Amino acid sequence: MTLDLIPYAPPVGGYPAGRLGHGEGKLKKWYYDPIGARHWRSVTEALRVIETDTYNLDRWKERQIVEGMSIRPDLVQLAISVGRAPETREGKDTLNTIAWKASQAAKVTDGANLGTAMHNMTEAVDRGADPASFPLPEPYRSALLRYAELRRVNGYRSVEIERTVRIPELDWCGSFDRIDTIEGLGAMLGGGPDSVIVDVKTEAEPWKYGGMKITGQLASYAHADAMWVPGVGWVEMPEVRRDVAVVINVRDGDAVPYFVNIGDGWRDAQRAAEQIAAVSAAKIDMGNPGARFAPMPYKRPTGGMPMLPITADAAAREAAGAGWANPARPPDGGAAPARTFATVSTPVEQLVGPGAMATHRALVEQSIPKLGDTVTVGGIAFMKHTPTDVDAAFGLPAPVTDTTQLPDPNGGSTWSVKAAVLAVWSVDDRAQLAELYDRVTGAGLAWVGAIEVAGASRLRMIECPQRGLHSASSGGMCACGWTSAVRP
């Protein structure tokens, strides 16, 4: 055999029969070329990437496994011995083998084997066998006789039967059923050769469930440059039509031919090849040509990254601020940091008035969970707070919507730390949080310490994809680990 492409010149009696063999292991669905010492991707497997509507095929496969298990009770017992959701590779491989054996058992009772048998018998007829010599039950006997008569009456003549071809443009290999010449086909179609790719199908309505795959397959065969001949090598592909192919549907006691538009099928095959190439390109490791990911130069942070810069005058308040601004803080008597920044020397009633005091107390008591209750989220237990924990140390400030400006108990601004933090927990989205930041910092109060920790906590809640868990029914808890202190 030679690496060179051999001109098509079949000897008397035709070339030897036979197809190209397959690879081994993970490449068992690929064709292996012993001359070029390489593997070719299978046309059938390649076209699966664009055949996305597999609902009916998937349901059929599932039914096959169920039916096979009912036929093979030994497989049921073997599956029971493996157990549910095996963790080992050996266990998973065993279940995969059970499923495969069950599907094979079901094929004994369904039409799959009958379809394969009919396909083999049509090949035998095209090689010269007498269709009446096969002892078939009806309707298979009538279908085979009709197939032979269809070919005789319409002038079908097989040029090549069951050959593997290569399609270098796609880097694929596949095996066609026939290349036939059909008397008058070129004249019927307004020109072109009489030779055409012919495929035998035994399933019902092949266009309905496998139309894209079938047209892509036949188009790929028509665009092949060579066919494999055992003992000879790669032989130049004979001329065939590239606009149409023919499918002969052999079933239900009949044989009916159909034209197939392989112009559209060729575009489908090209799209499949492009998709395969794109998937391969997306997997290229970094550092190699064509890789889609590359390292990005950056400076590695050496410490924490606060939401906003911490000024020098706030450093002393930071640790204590984290203690009470974090909504998951422990109740009084726990290990909460000291609240050195929170001393309130003036009664709240003198700051906001008795009416406002009652309003804000009601808001806090309504919004903050009761002391002692716990909620487990994501395997972590959280303790609920109590309004008295807030009241004892800070009193109750005016809400953020109140236009009254309050003097800071610690002096120096029109906002207190307590007022700012409680306002943080009342915002509902990023825009409101940004507006609050502008109002607080505009009044001269630095967004640091307790305010900053509360702001970061609330922002994390707002952006949490499981925010639906921030509700009264879940105790205000969220799987992200934060709890609302004022609103769910």
Identity of the amino acid at 163? R
| β partners of residue 248 | 200, 257
Query: What tokens appear for 104 in the block?
Result: 């094979």
pLDDT band at 269 (very low <50, low <70, confident <90, very high): very high
pLDDT band at 53 (very low <50, low <70, confident <90, very high): low
- So where are the chain's domains? 2-40+111-275, 312-474
Cβ atoms of 132 and 95 within 8 Å: the answer is no
Residues in the chain: 488
Residues 395, 59: Cα–Cα separation, whole Å:
65
Q: What is the mean pLDDT of the chain?
A: 75
pLDDT band at 3 (very low <50, low <70, confident <90, very high): low
CB atoms within 10 A of CB 157: 15
Structure confidence by residue, pLDDT tens digits, 80-130: 777 766 677 777 888 888 888 888 777 655 555 677 888 899 999 999 999
Among all chains, which residue has been given the structure tokens 């005058």?
A: 313
pLDDT for the residue 345: 36
Residues 3, 168: Cα–Cα separation, whole Å:
15
- Regarding predicted confidence, which is higher, 296 or 353? 296
Residues 248, 254: Cα–Cα separation, whole Å:
10
Give, as one character, the DSSP assignment of residue 22: B
- Sign, CA dihedral 47-51-57-62, equals positive
Strand duo 195-201 + 31-33: pairing: unpaired
Q: Say whether the peptide bond before residue 139 is cis (omega within 30 degrees of 0).
A: yes
pLDDT band at 131 (very low <50, low <70, confident <90, very high): very high
Residues 300, 411: Cα–Cα separation, whole Å:
39
Residues 6+ away with beta carbon under 8 Å from 223: 167, 169, 170, 242, 266, 269
pTM summary value: 0.55
pLDDT for the residue 343: 32
End-to-end CA distance of the chain: 78
Residue 226 has phi, psi (to 5 degrees) of -155, 155
Residues 6+ away with beta carbon under 8 Å from 100: none
Residues 466, 478: Cα–Cα separation, whole Å:
7
pLDDT band at 461 (very low <50, low <70, confident <90, very high): confident
Residues 268, 444: Cα–Cα separation, whole Å:
66
Residues 110, 80: Cα–Cα separation, whole Å:
26
Query: What tokens appear for 444 in the block?
Result: 């001269």
Structure confidence by residue, pLDDT tens digits, 388-422: 333 333 333 333 333 345 444 444 445 777 778 88
Which of 240-249, 269-278, 357-366, 417-426 has the least mean pLDDT?
357-366
Residues 36, 32: Cα–Cα separation, whole Å:
9
Cβ atoms of 203 and 143 within 8 Å: the answer is no
Identity of the amino acid at 252? D
Among all chains, which residue has been given the structure tokens 């009696």?
A: 13
Cβ atoms of 195 and 186 within 8 Å: the answer is no
Residues 72, 313: Cα–Cα separation, whole Å:
79
Structure confidence by residue, pLDDT tens digits, 176-215: 999 999 999 999 999 999 999 999 999 888 888 778 899 9
pLDDT for the residue 180: 97
Strand duo 2-6 + 233-236: pairing: parallel
